[in-house]
Structure 1
Amino acid sequence: MGTSGSGRRAYIGSFTSEGGRGITTADVDPDSGALTPVHSTDAVADPSYLAPSADGRFLYAVSERDEGRAAAFALTPGGPELLAPAVAVGGAAPTHLTLWSGHLLTANYGSGSVTALPVRPDGALAEPVAVLRHEGSGPNPDRQGEPHAHAVLPDPSGRWLLSVDLGTDSVRSCVWDEAEGTLAVRNEARLRPGSGPRHLAFHPDGEHAYVVNELEPTVTACRWDASTGTLTPLRETGLLPEDSEGVVVGTYPSEVVVSPDGRFLWTANRGHDSVSVLTLGGSGEKPALVTTVPCGGHWPRDLALHPDGRHLYVANQRSGDVTWFAVDPETGVPAHTGGIEAPGASCVVFA
């Protein structure tokens, strides 16, 4: 199991090609949120993003290489143990993954596609049964000449899979077509051209979602209709204070997180090397920037909230560390309280 004496463990993904240790297991102090590394494995190259199973028995990883792969690990008291050799996903540079409808889904940035791999009863992965290739492009010639699927996640109802594509400035709503045994796109939400949507997080009400944009430091609030799988963009909010205009160029937000009570939203901002704090208000439709705080490192690739909502964790890729913050329950503003070395850090998850 993935639990420790504190009730949970953290798992840190990293780029082995940048000196990372692969997947690092850390105990979590339940009071301070401090991480204590206890194990690491480099059984898979460049496990840049991780996803635990709901029951905490397994951990899944992408291998973000040109020939993308995905791997399954059993979570044991001694650390993750590879169940079988990593499976090719039929796509390039998978950057994100999720579990949905009995499958592991990967977002393949390099090839602009989403792959579905069945999960066997023992937790291991079977060969892909579907590869959904996105189509389209955006106005940024350097980054949007073709599709770049960057994230996949189910909606709160579990009926839909959402695929966020940086290259096409859109989010696709997909279903699993039982008759055809494949993924099928039912709707595609168009965001502002050139915004470069990267990741998405849902409000706990299940009726709103927030897309963090990579090519400009903004977040787009959306309304979500689970009955039709329709995502409707409502408004875009800047993630940096007005006096930061001089550093907007070269700032690339990476992740968005919503508090369990729906009052706050946080983003990690690479380049500006900060965490933005926004309030969501009663409707959830009008995010408002409160402040930004330094991320405690350089190039924050991922931002994660501990399930108890009390601590935020930042994976700082280029400074090679994971930092953590205590969240003020009244203001949502995080205060830096510690960090550990983690070369090539790229994500943090809990199980």
Structure 2
Amino acid sequence: MTVEQQRLLVFAGSYAEAEESGVYVYAFDEESGTLTLTDEFAGLKNPTFLNVDANRKLLYAIAETVNDAGVKVGEAAAFSIDAAKGTIQLINREITVNSTTCHIQRDANSRFLTVTSYHGGMIGLLEITEDGAIGQVLDVQQHEGSSQHPERQDRPHPHSSFYSPDGRYLLVSDLGLDRIVTYALDAANGKLVRQSEVALHPGAGPRHLTFHPDGKHVYVINEVDSTITSFSYDSKTGELKALERVSTLPASFADENSCAEITISADGKYVYGSNRGHDSIVVFAVDGETGLLSLVQHISVEGGHPRHFALTPSGRYLLAANRDTNNIAVFTVDKDNGKLFFTGKSVTVPKPVCVVPIYLTL
């Protein structure tokens, strides 16, 4: 029995004009912590968020374009990945929803994609064809309402959609409504069916979320007021119940800040969140019984505006994408206490917004 060889590739999406490179591919050496550029793709405007299907070696990116009427709309592109060469090749690109998008996610069975439109206040469900291409738009769910912040929350602003571990539900964080809306995925009919919703505290501005590996807890990072809300999660009904909220900032910090990304270690022991303004990663330890959080560390991201970050699949490293300083900074992770340490290594990437490290078989 042979062990399949794997290669760790890192895919980065960025703000870019269509004639500029916007999607980047790097090989990552886990012994040295070094990123080496292997490919880049030009042709998409603002391919900011990515999703990778490792099994089928496919990459999905959002982008923006204009329709026949000259109105800005969402677009999605599919790429095939050559793991050995570290290169990508465009399969197809299609218009998605009638507004620009900020997030893309794939369901557990790789049959559907969901795109999220912050400016349009909507979620789109897309078909993935048998050959992995972007298919037709199957369903669009429009949000309605507002919350308390006069500028940030005057209308719906869904910022992300994440499928539950079992693939039955889709959780949509709506920054403009201070709500997380849960949809059931009706795979047979290609529909999103509104299941339930939970209200966060006014002015929170939920942006992204992450599921605990135990499937019983969800952690949501709130962009507007720089907090994380912990929830219990009922996998049978898809319902959330708030447990606590904690600040992502040191008590002494009084300047402007907004949060962006959140993730959890594979063992479920540590939650990580990013601060833009304080320009840091905050680390929390997770109580194994209650799921509640306790502060471990704040560490500089060695750059400005950490729009996104990700742990490598092994959990040995964290990569921080700093949009305003045009760099991806590399940190090691101490698995005994969750703490991060800057390696001194960083690569220049124009306006990075999303970073996806993933093992691919050769």
Q: Is the 8 A contact 1:269 1:275 kept in 2?
A: yes
Aligned-partner Cα distance in 2 for 1:109–1:121: 29
Task: Give the direction of change, closer, same or farther, for the CA distance of 1:268–1:221 in structure 2 (3 Å limit).
Answer: same
3-state DSSP class of the match of 1:150?
strand
The CA deviation at 1:149 is 1.1
1:324 aligns with 2:334: no
Provide, for residues 80-99 of structure 1, a one-character-per-residue CA deviation record: whole Å limited to 9, x for no partner. 11101x21112322111111
- Quick one: which of 276, 281, 285 aligns to 1:279? 285
Aligned-partner Cα distance in 2 for 1:42–1:20: 5
Provide, for residues 187-228 of structure 1, a one-character-per-residue CA deviation record: whole Å limited to 9, x for no partner. 001111110000000111010010000001110000000101
Q: Which residue of 2 aligns with 1:28?
A: 28
Provide, for residues 100-131 of structure 1, a one-character-per-residue CA deviation record: whole Å limited to 9, x for no partner. 15111111111111101100011101121111
Q: Which residue of 1 aligns with 2:69?
A: none
**What are the equivalent positions in structure 2 for 1:86-105 lying under 5 Å apart?**
86-100=93-107, 102-105=111-114
The CA deviation at 1:8 is 1.6
Q: Is the 8 A contact 1:43 1:82 kept in 2?
A: no
Q: Which residue of 2 aligns with 1:160?
A: 169
Listed as ranges, the gaps of 5+ residues in structure 2 are 66-71
Q: Which residue of 2 aligns with 1:228?
A: 237
Q: Which residue of 1 aligns with 2:308?
A: 302
Aligned-partner Cα distance in 1 for 2:187–2:337: 46
- Quick one: which of 314, 320, 330 aligns to 1:314? 320
How many equivalent residue pairs? 344
Q: Which residue of 1 aligns with 2:47?
A: 47
Q: Which residue of 2 aligns with 1:81?
A: 89
Aligned-partner Cα distance in 2 for 1:293–1:6: 31
* Letter aligned with residue 346 of structure 2: G
Q: Is the 8 A contact 2:18 2:45 kept in 1?
A: no
3-state DSSP class of the match of 2:136?
coil
1:263 aligns with 2:269: yes
* Letter aligned with residue 310 of structure 1: R
The CA deviation at 1:43 is 2.6
Q: Is the 8 A contact 1:14 1:20 kept in 2?
A: no
Provide, for residues 15-49 of structure 1, a one-character-per-residue CA deviation record: whole Å limited to 9, x for no partner. 11499631110001022332111110013211100
**What is the aligned-residue RMSD (CA, Å)?**
1.8
The CA deviation at 1:167 is 0.6
Runs of 4+ in 1 over 2 A off after TM superposition: 17-21, 176-181
Aligned-partner Cα distance in 2 for 1:207–1:242: 30
The CA deviation at 1:68 is 1.1
1:174 aligns with 2:183: yes
Q: Which residue of 2 aligns with 1:213?
A: 222
Q: Is the 8 A contact 1:18 1:343 kept in 2?
A: no
3-state DSSP class of the match of 2:231?
strand
Q: Is the 8 A contact 1:281 1:287 kept in 2?
A: yes
Quote the sequence identity (%): 34
Aligned-partner Cα distance in 1 for 2:200–2:300: 28
Aligned-partner Cα distance in 2 for 1:72–1:322: 24
3-state DSSP class of the match of 2:252?
helix
* Letter aligned with residue 33 of structure 1: G
Task: Give the direction of change, closer, same or farther, for the CA distance of 1:18–1:287 in structure 2 (3 Å limit).
Answer: farther
Q: Which residue of 2 aligns with 1:71?
A: 77
Query: Which range moves more in the overlay, 155-164 or 178-187?
Result: 178-187
Aligned-partner Cα distance in 2 for 1:15–1:5: 33
Provide, for residues 232-264 of structure 1, a one-character-per-residue CA deviation record: whole Å limited to 9, x for no partner. 1111001112122x22xx211100010111111
Q: Determine which structure has the larger strand proportion and give its number.
A: 2
Task: Give the direction of change, closer, same or farther, for the CA distance of 1:31–1:74 in structure 2 (3 Å limit).
Answer: same
Q: Which residue of 1 aligns with 2:9?
A: 9
Q: Is the 8 A contact 1:313 1:348 kept in 2?
A: yes
Aligned-partner Cα distance in 2 for 1:6–1:124: 24
Q: Is the 8 A contact 1:199 1:211 kept in 2?
A: yes
Listed as ranges, the gaps of 5+ residues in structure 1 are none
Task: Give the direction of change, closer, same or farther, for the CA distance of 1:179–1:73 in structure 2 (3 Å limit).
Answer: closer
3-state DSSP class of the match of 2:194?
strand
3-state DSSP class of the match of 2:131?
coil
1:107 aligns with 2:116: yes
**Length-normalised TM-score, structure 1:** 0.94
1:187 aligns with 2:196: yes
Query: Which range moves more in the overlay, 15-24 or 329-338?
Result: 15-24
* Letter aligned with residue 89 of structure 2: E
Q: Is the 8 A contact 1:6 1:30 kept in 2?
A: no
**Length-normalised TM-score, structure 2:** 0.91
